[in-house]
Amino acid sequence: MYSIGMFSQICRVTTKTLRHYDEIGLLRPCHTDEQTGYRYYTSAQLAPMHRILSLKQMGFSLQEIRAILEGGPAVEAMLAAKQRELSAQIDDARHRLLLIENFLSCGKGAAMNNRYTATIKQLPEVTVASIRRILPDYSALNDVYPNVLGPEMERLGCRCAQPDYCFNLYHDGEYKDHDIDVEICQAVTEKKADSELLKFKTLAPVTAVCVLHKGPYALLGDAYAFALDWVRQNGYRVCGIPRESYIDGIWNKESENDYLTELQFPVETA
């Protein structure tokens, strides 16, 4: 028999750990001296101790390890669940590594000085009031917002959600400079009955790659190009209609250079 000190040296664990395993019934000593309380182990206990250490290295808790060592039909399910958990962690680590590699590929921190940066956000579920129109050109938006959407929302008793969230969805599938199929959405606190002008719907939560653009709307194409290139390089694909979310604009800024727009691209892992 080995003393607890010798057994701890053989197994490369502390005596405190061995005492704890004894207390919780995970690995009890072969013999405990009644007078001194000294614990003793045998070579036959090396194998179960090694199994405990191996399972611990896999990431199992002591409670889970005890259940596995006791056997039963749930053991295989526990191991399979841990396998899925570790695989997900590996995928996440690979994705983080890809982000770092792409960041470094911009060259010695130059990415910090680029005009645009991309952020992955979880956009929550949102209820919106929307108007879908075919507009002759983009300037017509300046008429729809204050003269159509606003008055109709007021007539129906709508309350805007806070923080304010207003965005456009373009349904053409490509850029068009005329006859633009656009859906103008305003987040509201609750659905109302649809009217002839206004429709209400709830958009599901979505993962989105978001890019901020400060400046005139005429230059939004640069932000779109950056966002789509970032999506491709970082292992994603667009899985929904991008949103143009308007944070600052003509309603609170005098200069177009101070307009702030966020492009939000729903994505999934490619």
Do 11 and 105 have their domain in common?
Answer: no
Least confident of 13-27, 84-98, 123-137: 84-98
Query: Domain boundary at 70, 94, 127, which?
Result: 70
Do 37 and 57 have their domain in common?
Answer: yes
Check residue 140 and report its DSSP letter.
G
Q: How far apart are CA 95 and CA 113, in angstroms?
A: 23
**Residue 154 has what pLDDT?**
94
Do 203 and 216 have their domain in common?
Answer: yes
CB 69 within 8 A of CB 25: no
Q: How far apart are CA 151 and CA 226, in angstroms?
A: 36
Q: What angle do CA 168, 172, 176 make, to 5 degrees?
A: 90
**Residue 177 has what pLDDT?**
78
Stretch (H or E) spanning 102: helix 74-105
Stretch (H or E) spanning 245: strand 243-248
**Residue 111 has what pLDDT?**
43
Do 162 and 197 have their domain in common?
Answer: yes
Query: Domain boundary at 113, 140, 173, which?
Result: 113
Do 245 and 194 have their domain in common?
Answer: yes
Do 16 and 61 have their domain in common?
Answer: yes
Do 175 and 246 have their domain in common?
Answer: yes
Q: How far apart are CA 51 and CA 155, in angstroms?
A: 71
Instruction: Note the pLDDT tens digit of each residue in 150-186.
Output: 999 999 999 999 989 999 999 987 777 789 999 999 9
**The domain containing residue 40 runs over which residues?**
2-70
Do 65 and 85 have their domain in common?
Answer: no
Q: Is 0.85 topped by the overall pTM?
A: no
Q: How would residue 112 be classed by pLDDT, with cut points 50, 70 and 90? A: very low
Q: How far is CA 155 from the centre of its chain?
A: 38
Q: How far apart are CA 265 and CA 118, in angstroms?
A: 10
Assigned token pair, 37: 């309380």
Check residue 205 and report its DSSP letter.
P
Stretch (H or E) spanning 261: strand 260-269
Do 138 and 235 have their domain in common?
Answer: yes
Do 31 and 124 have their domain in common?
Answer: no
Do 65 and 91 have their domain in common?
Answer: no
Structural domain tally of the chain? 3
Mean pLDDT across the stretch 47-60?
A: 92
**Residue 102 has what pLDDT?**
60
